[in-house]
């Protein structure tokens, strides 16, 4: 499966912190899609496997119904069992080549990359896209250290697959990423911590179009 950069302009990454329950989370996801997110990643760090599977089945069905790409964070088995569009893995997770063996040729694999070396290794192993960052200081992943604009530009220049920035991106700082060769942004609190998720998504999509590579 191949993905075009334009499909990744606005990549929504969930966080249960701003949802009262699973129903509220699904409503937020739907609002993000209504606002223009064409790709959504379900990220759950604290659910047990059964609860994550149940939620993921509902999430994948929602994304399929709305015609957007569903990505599962980290958990390759749940991505396979739910028929999600793909999985996103970090540098400490399963290596992309092994993920490809498990998921087959038709699923998307995203990999977090913080350097040109990591980016090239992920691309060679079969990654379909990269998430690079942290672009800014972020409260979502407190251990994520920001990388320089020069590093982001070097990564986007080195690979032939789409690259999105992630980490601390807001409506107030997103335009600082202009000229980095990015295809889009992956955002968490800029969508899901906002009182009107749909409106926030629409605004972030407009700004992402402005910073995206030609």
- Strand pairing category for 86-89 and 163-166: unpaired
Q: How confident is residue 214, by pLDDT bands cut at 50, 70 and 90?
A: low
| Beta carbons within 10 angstroms of residue 181's beta carbon | 18
Of 176, 159, 156, nearest in space to 167 by CA: 176
Share of the chain above pLDDT 90, in %: 91
**What torsion do the CA atoms of 16, 17, 18, 20 make, to the nearest 10 degrees?**
70
What dotted CATH number matches 5-211? 3.20.20.70
Q: In the prediction, which pLDDT does 57 show?
A: 98
Residue range 157-173, pLDDT digits in tens = 999 999 999 999 999 99
Two tokens, residue 125: 């192993």
**What span, in angstroms and rounded, lies between the C-alpha atoms of 73 and 50?**
15
Q: 21: Cβ–Cβ under 8 A, 6 or more apart, which residues?
A: none
119 in Cβ contact with 155 (< 8 Å): yes
């Amino acid at each position: 499966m191949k993905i075009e950069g334009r499909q990744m302009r606005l990549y929504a990454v969930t966080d249960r912190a701003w949802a009262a329950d699973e129903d509220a989370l699904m409503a937020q996801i739907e609002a993000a899609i209504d606002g223009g997110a064409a790709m959504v990643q379900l990220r759950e760090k604290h659910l047990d496997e059964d609860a994550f599977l149940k939620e993921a089945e509902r999430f994948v069905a929602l994304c399929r119904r709305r015609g957007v790409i569903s990505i599962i964070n980290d958990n390759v088995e749940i991505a396979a069992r739910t028929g999600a569009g793909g999985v996103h893995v970090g540098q400490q997770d399963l290596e992309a080549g092994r993920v490809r063996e498990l998921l087959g040729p038709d699923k998307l694999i995203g990999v977090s990359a913080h350097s040109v070396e990591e980016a090239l290794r992920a691309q060679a192993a079969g990654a379909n896209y990269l998430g690079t960052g942290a672009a800014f200081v972020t409260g979502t992943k407190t251990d994520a250290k920001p990388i320089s604009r020069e590093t982001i530009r070097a990564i986007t220049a080195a690979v032939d697959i789409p690259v999105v920035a992630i980490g601390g991106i807001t409506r107030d700082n997103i335009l600082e990423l202009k000229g980095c060769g990015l295809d889009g942004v992956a955002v968490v609190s800029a969508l899901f911590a906002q009182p009107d998720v749909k409106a926030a998504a629409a605004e972030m999509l407009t700004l992402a179009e402005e910073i995206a590579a030609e």
